[in-house]
Amino acid sequence: MANLTTKGRTSIITHHTSDGSATLLERLKFHGVPETGSLKLSGIVVFANDFGPSPKVELRFEDNVVPLTFSQSAGVSRKLDGQSNSAQSRIEEIIIPEGAATMDLVVHCEQSGEPQKILKLVDQKFAQPSDDLRQIHQDALAMTHESSFKEARQLNRSLKSVSDEYSNLPEYLEARVLISSKLKIMPTRTVKQMIKLRGVRTVNDDSEKFEAFAEKLSTLLNGVNLSHHGFASGFGSDENHDSIWDHIRQLSVELEKEGLSVFINSGTLLGYVRSKKLIEHDDDIDLAVVLSANSVSEVVREWVALEATLERLDLLDHVNNEIVKHKGFYKLRTIGDYQVDLFPAWEVDGKFFVWPHTFGNLDREDVLPLEETNIDGVKMPARPSRMLKLNYGDDWMIPNKFWSFNWSKAKTRFSEFLAQLDIVRAEGRK
């Protein structure tokens, strides 16, 4: 279930159900009514994918149940990558009484027949931190790099006892991020909480408070970077990255000798195109290899067979590769404190695919022939900006330390590839 905190602002966010089967896109606006203390909710709610042509959806708050009527929308369908089952509902005005701090958006799915709560709306106007949470928050803010882990563990135990109703408040999010960062635990969750915190602060016109908190976090981490991969030093802004680029070149050359084309991908491509260097808070190298197969089943078999080639060339990071290879990428050996991820890329009927970010959204000419970078032996897509826009959005040129990739959407799009990969790997284990 997704969560959204709002206060008198328009929110445009995409959410996914827990099983990745459906998408909710909402444009919702809360308007305060000062004389009554109530709220007016208006806007548009859109459903896509597998809810069926006539989803039954209700907005619930206190003892009220407000049904939402949906209609098919070709325009919305086009915007959502052509998903044919999209439908939208326009909410003209719903009055939310004072004290109704929590509202649930519930959909009755045709597949299961059971109502599924997919969105919780919490308005900051009615939600205030408890005294216990205020104290935990103050103690967390007081922590420094020299603070003891015993102190952080005690705060962690105290925060776990705080009610879930406060989990979208800035005080809770800041305390959780600081405590987790001090203990170096749950990096992916911590990044997501920073993203949520930034959204809450932005909605409430408190962006400066978020920036100040990010600076506080940086001081606490004392040179260590927070990312989905963990707490690590990252590449840094002033380091000489020549040895890393040389390693990328060596890997590319080794694979090209086998008739394979390799290009820098994802964060590595983003850093190069944006500033001709590695992103300072990144801690891994992303590469993609162009496979010759042109159907999903053949792509999977070629990809699985590639592991033997990488083994023969002694290019695999054996320990980490065993952990991730079932996820559709390989870990290659490194020469430093970073990891190298290799992803599959392929073409079908003139459309290009790169797991997990590009699902036939690019033409062959956007990628091939590969373009030379100013680093000898290192190549990139022919039109890299188009791939970066797909992966990171329209504002890909603006650094965003806490950007998060939508894996749920990727797994839905590439479901056939992932299913075939499971089958082929299972056959190999027999």
Question: Residue 427: is its pLDDT beyond 80?
Answer: yes
Average pLDDT, integer, range 154-160: 95
Over residues 206-215, the mean pLDDT reads 92
Check pLDDT > 90 for residue 342.
yes
**Over 90: is that where the pLDDT of 280 sits?**
no
Structure tokens belonging to residue 231: 């707490």
Is the pTM higher than 0.85? The answer reads: no
Q: With contact defined as beta carbons under 8 Å apart, do 97 and 84 qualify?
A: no
Identify which has the larger pLDDT, 255 or 240: 255
For residues 425 and 35, the answer to whether their CB atoms sit within 8 Å is no
Query: What's the CA gap between 190 and 207, in Å, rounded?
Result: 19
Minimum mean pLDDT among 71-80, 136-145, 202-211, 229-238: which range?
71-80
The pLDDT value recorded for residue 227 is: 84
Mean pLDDT of the residues in the chain: 79
Tell me the backbone φ, ψ of residue 274, rounded to 5 degrees: -75, -40
Tokens of 380: 């990139």
What is the secondary structure of 303-360 as a DSSP string? HHHHHHHHHHTT-B-HHHHHHHGGGT-EEEP-SSSSEEEEEEEEEETTEEEETTTEEE
Identify the helix (H) or strand (E) that includes residue 30: strand 22-33
Q: Kindly give the pairing relationship between strand 339-348 and strand 284-290.
A: parallel
Distances (CA, A) of 50 to 17, 154, 156, 324: 11, 44, 39, 29
